[in-house]
């Protein structure tokens, strides 16, 4: 069998295994993965429509179209640190390449993302938002986010083997990033000076592009996509470089 065929089979098996294990022994199984984002959605909608109204039209759709890529991002990075540390059994198999675990984690979380997508479609259709050709850009945005996640996860998974703080720092960063990324608010409501700063947040740029295509039904602006894609390429390059440089140490320490 070719290396490609081998890795395709291996990754698809491990993704399935990952999803099985995640909800092992629970009654509703994989449905739990839908429960948390939906609960988050409900709470935020209540908060920013009733408690502190932001005055955004069709707020649930506005929020959900950004929450989905955000949840994919956080769930991948939140578990990246443990990928090498907690999978010694797999790392100790002959001819197993550890980076496979990073791909598996990203893909398993992507499956959950894709399971929530129809829910978003239904929400938008129910509200009468027109389906436009702009939606065809979504796979491209997913690819950019996937590349970004691959680089960052590889970096976190590798470094966390040597310093366990890495995951803690990442968790803190992700927590803060939720407020610094326009997930539940919009940037154009902010003063000009802040907006310039926001333009440099690659995740923010990416999430704005998702919202532009899914919620507003328009092609995303070029500039945010370029920022996000450039960052994704740099992150992937850095992740791969660090991984390759430290891999044999990882195998000795784990």
Partner 1 sequence: MSHVLIAESVWKQFRLHRDRPHTLQEALVRRMTGRWESPESFWALRDVSVTAREGQCVGLIGHNGAGKSTLLRLLCGIGRPTRGAIARRGRVSGLLDLGRGFHPDLTGRENLLTGGILAGLTRRQVTEREQEMIAFAELEDFIDQPVRTYSTGMYLRLAFAAATHCDADVLVIDEALAVGDARFREKCLARLRAFRDAGKALVLATHDEGQVRALCDDVIVLDEGQLVMIGAPDAALERYRLLLEERTERRAAELAGGAPLVEPVEGEGKRTGTREAVIAAVRLLNASDREVEALVCGERMTIQLDYGLAAKVTDVIVGVGLYSEGDVKCFETLVQSARVAFGPLGERGRFRCELGPLHLLPGRYYVNVALYAPGWTHIYDSHWHMHSLMVLDGGGPLDGRSGVVALRADWSNEK
- Of 167 and 213, the one with the shorter C-beta distance to partner 1 is 167
Annotate each residue in 19-38 with x if it binds partner 1 (CB under 8 A) or - if it does not, as one string: -xx--xx-------------
Instruction: Read off the tokens for 189.
Output: 């409501």
Q: Does 248 bind partner 1 (CB under 8 A)?
A: yes
* Candidate residues 46, 125, 131, 165; the one interacting with partner 1 per rule CB under 8 A: 165
- Least Å distance between CB 77 and partner 1? 18
Examine residue 8 and tell whether it contacts partner 1 (CB under 8 A): no
Select 18 or 233, whichever has its Cβ closest to partner 1. Answer: 18
Candidate residues 4, 55, 57, 94; the one interacting with partner 1 per rule CB under 8 A: 94
- 88 near partner 1, rule: CB under 8 A: yes
Among 15, 41, 67, 91, binds partner 1 (CB under 8 A): 91
Shortest spacing between CB 91 and partner 1, in angstroms: 7
Among 124-132, 189-197, 217-225, 245-253, which window interacts with partner 1 (CB under 8 A)?
A: 245-253
Binding region for partner 1 (CB under 8 A): 1, 6, 9-10, 13-14, 17, 20-21, 24-25, 88-96, 162-166, 248, 251-253
């Amino acid at each position: 069998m070719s290396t490609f065929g081998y890795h395709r089979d291996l990754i698809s098996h491990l993704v399935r295994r990952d999803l099985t294990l995640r909800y092992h022994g629970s009654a509703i199984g994989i449905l739990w993965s839908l429960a948390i984002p939906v609960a988050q959605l409900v709470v935020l909608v209540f908060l920013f429509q009733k408690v502190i109204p932001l005055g955004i039209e069709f707020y649930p759709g506005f929020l959900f179209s950004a929450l989905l890529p955000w949840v994919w991002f956080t769930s991948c990075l939140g578990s990246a640190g443990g990928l090498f540390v907690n999978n010694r059994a797999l790392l100790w198999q002959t001819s197993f390449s550890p980076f496979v675990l990073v791909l598996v984690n990203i893909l398993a979380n992507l499956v959950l993302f894709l399971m929530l997508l129809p829910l978003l479609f239904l929400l938008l259709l129910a509200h009468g938002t027109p389906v436009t050709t702009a939606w065809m850009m979504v796979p491209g945005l997913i690819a950019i986010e996937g590349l970004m996640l691959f680089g960052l996860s590889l970096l976190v998974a590798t470094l966390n083997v040597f310093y366990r703080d890495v995951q803690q720092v990442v968790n803190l960063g992700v927590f803060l990033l939720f407020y610094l990324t326009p997930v539940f608010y919009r940037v154009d409501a902010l003063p000009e000076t802040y907006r310039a700063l926001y333009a440099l947040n690659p995740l923010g740029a990416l999430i704005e592009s998702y919202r532009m295509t899914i919620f507003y039904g328009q092609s995303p602006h070029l500039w945010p996509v370029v920022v996000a894609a450039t960052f994704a390429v740099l992150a992937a390059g850095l992740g791969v470089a660090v991984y390759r440089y430290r891999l044999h140490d990882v195998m000795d320490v784990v």
